[in-house]
Each structure stands twice: as structure tokens, then as C-alpha cells.
Amino acid sequence: MPTLYAGPTGNGRKPLILVKLLNAPIDIHFFTWPTKEIKQDWYLNLNPNGTQPTLVDDSKHLKLFESNALLEYIATTYDKEGKYYYKENEPELYWEQKTWLYYQSAQFAAFNLARAIISVNANHVDKFTENEILEGFKIIYEVLENQLKKTNSGWLIGNKFTIVDIAFGAGNHRRLEKLTGTGYEIKDFDALYPNVAKWYNNFLSVDGVEEVLNRKS
Amino acid sequence: MPTLYAGPTGNGRKPLILVKLLNAPIDIHFFTWPTKEIKQDWYLNLNPNGTQPTLVDDSKHLKLFESNALLEYIATTYDKEGKYYYKENEPELYWEQKTWLYYQSAQFAAFNLARAIISVNANHVDKFTENEILEGFKIIYEVLENQLKKTNSGWLIGNKFTIVDIAFGAGNHRRLEKLTGTGYEIKDFDALYPNVAKWYNNFLSVDGVEEVLNRKS
């Protein structure tokens, strides 16, 4: 059986949520956080970057990393009906979904969220970085707010809950978990982004999501 | 005909290179850099994030952004034989390719390169950020070096030049272009990463690549 190596972080929870929702036949190697395991040789042999999550399927000679690549892989492999993602037979939504997965991975998670978390974890204060990140988040949440007005479905792409909602939902949860009460907190969030606030509640209400978000060991 | 909106940056050049190599039937709206166009209303209507590149195909109701999503879209649509990418009929390489596209987009381009360029452009000096980025680049280039030893083909995935090489090649070019002579320069690069240095020369030698890299207007 394939194994998913993942811990309780914004990126780790994305594939954990999808595996849970699909009840996919994948073993979970859960990291209690923080962990030194991801820098150990046995793990670096699976994921040379020393990050998580990683999905290994020896029967297919696959060692995959990058959380949104894992979302695409798990959806393609274990969700043949496309319950939680748009398949290529709906090309407009399929490519919109793809755009937004990269957008979440690069702009939201790596460029803004990870930068902020690194600074907070290190107690490093730098006003230039802080302003850059807060401005960066502002642009992204405005884009999400307008997108939700456009879809008017309560979800980010089309009219159903997809892996794009999982990616941004897990990211928004991590932002709140790590940045609330720090200089990176976004003030008046619910008033500024009411559709995002509502969407996030929709996300939390999906059966199984909160259980994964709350898992610690 | 579809239109590609792109300028001479690390991300903009990725789809420009692929369109050039494929001679794909796509109009180019080339931004002379830096440009204010990407923050103007007409452009924000195409790409709400105000970044480039963007690919618009009205006939298919597509407005795509994120450079590596564009690489996937252009390859899938205009390179049916898979000259420059691995198709799903080679699943091991297809998913490895996917992993590495996200890795380039998130870890290389957004987390390290974009952060460094922002600081350099603003003349902002912050040793914490500088060390973080240099350590981040070091991990990635070590991963690339080991990957090139493993493939032993001169290319990052499998045995051919693919969109993964375009993504990392354009990124490496941008790093040299923007960070040489700054605190973010990587000293002794060719000695530390000889396989990467050789791979980068391979990339520059692909017919058409240098022409795109040198285009200014």
C-alpha cells in the first residue's frame, strides 16, 4: 500500500484531508510536530528536500513531494468520479483549478505564509518583511473574495468543494493557528472579506475536515 | 488566437520559451520591463493577482495565470507528441515532472528567488532574510545536483529536455541576472554544483532559448 508521510502543518494537512474524505487506501505515517524525522537519512531518501508531505508508492516507483502535487495525484488516482476535483473532461474548470493550485502553493503558502511563520518562529522582527507579507496577503484575500462573489457557490472553483478549497482552507487554518496575535495577524478579517469568512466556515463544516485539522499525533 | 501576456522576468520567460520552441499559434503581448500595465484595470480583469504571465483563450473561456500552470497548459495543448514534457502514459515520469514543477514554483521561485529580488530592488538589507535565502538556495541546488547525477542525462527529469528544465533554467537565469554582485550571490557555484553548471549550459544551448532570454522589448 502507498504511504503518506505528513504532519500537522498547513501543507501536511492538505493530503491528509483528501485521503480522509476519500477513505483512500493509503497508510499514514503521521509526524508529531515538530519532528526531526524529516531531516533524517531514511526520509531524505524519499524526499531530498527534507520537507513534508511525501507520498511513496513502491509498486509504481513513485516518490512524490509538494503538497499540491499530492492533491492532484491522490484525486486523479483515488477519485475517479471527480467528487472533489474537476477532471480534464471539463477543461475550463480543470485549468482554472490548476492555476489556483499553483497560486496557492507559490503565492499564498510559500511567498507569504511560510515567510511569516519563519519570522515568527525565530522571533525575528523586520518591518519591511512584515509590510510586504501583509500587503501580499491583502492582495490574495481580495482575489479570493472577488472569486467567491463570482462563483457564488460558496466554493472557490465552479460549484463544488474541490482540492482548491482544501489547499486554501488548510492554508487559512495554518495562518490563523500560527499568526494570530503576531504582527502578521490580519485585523478586521471578517469585515474585510465576508465571503472568505463564510467560505472558511463552509470548509470547516465538511465532514472529516475538523478531525484532521485537530489531529496532533 | 490565444494571447500570452509576458515580460522579461524569470516567470514570464518560461511560457515564452515553450511557445518559441513549439512555434505554438499564440499571440505574444510582450511587456517591456518594468511595466505598469500589469496593475491596470484591463489587465487585472484577465489576472486579478496583477502578476505575469497570463494566457487568455477567449474561444475556450480560459484566463490562466501562474507560469508553471501555463507550461502545463501549453505543453498539453500544443505538444501532443510530448516532445518537451512527459505525458500521462508515462506515469512515473509524469508525476515526477508534476512534483518538480510545484517545487520550482513554490520553493525556488516564490520562497527564495522572489524574496531575494524584492529585498535587492528595495535596497533592503536584513541578515536574517539573507541567510535564510542563501540556505534555501543551497538546499535546492544540492537537490538539483543529486538529481542530475541520478538521471545522468544532462536533464532534470528522465532523459529529455522538458518543461521542468525550462522552469528551473529560466529561474537560474533570473537569479544570475538579478542577484550577481549582491549579498544573495552564491559563491563558487560551479565548483559546488558542477552538474548544475553543466545542465545550465545545456539549457542555454537549446536552439531558441537564448533568443527569448535576451529579448527586451
Q: Structure pTM?
A: 0.98
Chain segment A39-84, per-residue pLDDT in tens: 999 999 999 999 999 999 999 999 999 999 999 999 999 999 999 9
Is A61 an 8 Å CB contact of chain B? yes
Beta-carbon-side half-sphere exposure of residue A55 (alpha carbons within 13 Å): 32
Q: In whole angstroms, what is the distance from residue A213 CA to residue A201 CA?
A: 13
Cβ-Cβ contacts under 8 Å, B99 against chain A = 64-66, 69
Share of residues in chain B with pLDDT > 90 (%): 100
Closest CA to A185 of A118, A124, A117: A117
pLDDT of residue A75: 98
Q: In the prediction, which pLDDT does A211 show?
A: 98
Q: Any chain B CB within 8 A of the CB of A35?
A: no
CB A137 within 8 A of CB A186: yes
pLDDT digits (tens, 9 = 90+) for B104-158: 999 999 999 999 999 999 999 999 999 999 999 999 999 999 999 999 999 999 9
pLDDT score for A49: 94
The confidence band for A15, taking pLDDT boundaries of 50, 70 and 90, is: very high
Q: What pLDDT sits at residue B41?
A: 97
Parse chain A into domains and list their residue ranges: 3-78, 91-210
Helices B67-78 and B10-22: angle between axes, nearest 10 degrees: 10
pLDDT at A88: 96
What is the 8-class DSSP label of residue B32? P
Instruction: Cite the DSSP H helix spans in chain B.
Output: 10-22, 41-44, 67-78, 91-103, 115-121, 127-151, 163-179, 189-192, 194-205, 209-214
Q: Between chains, do A132 and B118 touch, taking CB under 8 Å as contact?
A: yes
Interchain pair A62, B122: CB under 8 A: no
ipTM over 0.90: yes
pLDDT in tens, A115-166: 999 999 999 999 999 999 999 999 999 999 999 999 999 999 999 999 999 9
As a whole number of angstroms, the distance between CA A45 and CA A211 comes to: 30
A134 touches B: beta carbon within 8 Å:
no
Q: Report which of B107, B105, B20 is spatially closest to residue A48, judged by C-alpha positions.
A: B107
pLDDT, average across residues A4-27: 98
Per-residue pLDDT band for B36 (boundaries 50, 70, 90) equals: very high
Confidence (pLDDT) at A36: 97
Under DSSP, the state recorded for A181 is T
- CATH architecture of the domain with residue range B3-78: 3-Layer(aba) Sandwich (3.40)
Kindly report the average pLDDT of chain B as a whole number: 97
Q: What confidence score (pLDDT) does residue B103 get?
A: 98
Q: Are B129 and A126 within 8 A, CB to CB?
A: yes
User: Cβ contacts of residue B80 below 8 Å, gap of 6+?
Assistant: none
Query: pLDDT (tens digit, 9 = 90+) per residue, B42-91?
Result: 999 999 999 999 999 999 999 999 999 999 999 999 999 999 999 999 99
Nearest by CB to B114, which of A72, A111, A124?
A111
Q: What is chain A's mean pLDDT, rounded? A: 97
* Grid cell digits, residue B16: 515564452
- Residue A187 φ/ψ, nearest 5 degrees: -75, 150
CB neighbours (10 Å) of residue B78? 17
Contacts of residue A20, Cβ cutoff 8 Å, sequence gap at least 6: A208, A209, A211, A212
Q: β-strands B54-57, B3-6: how paired?
A: antiparallel
Determine the distance in angstroms separating the CA of A44 from the nearest CA of chain B, rounded to an integer. Answer: 10
DSSP H or E segment with residue A88: none
DSSP string spanning A90-105?
SHHHHHHHHHHHHHII
Q: Is the Cβ–Cβ distance between B75 and B97 less than 8 Å?
A: no
CATH T-level fold of B91-210: Glutathione S-transferase Yfyf (Class Pi); Chain A, domain 2 (1.20.1050)
Phi-psi region of B158 (alpha: psi -120 to 50; beta: other; left: phi over 0): left
d(CA B37, CA B35): 5
Beta-carbon count within 10 A of A50 CB: 16
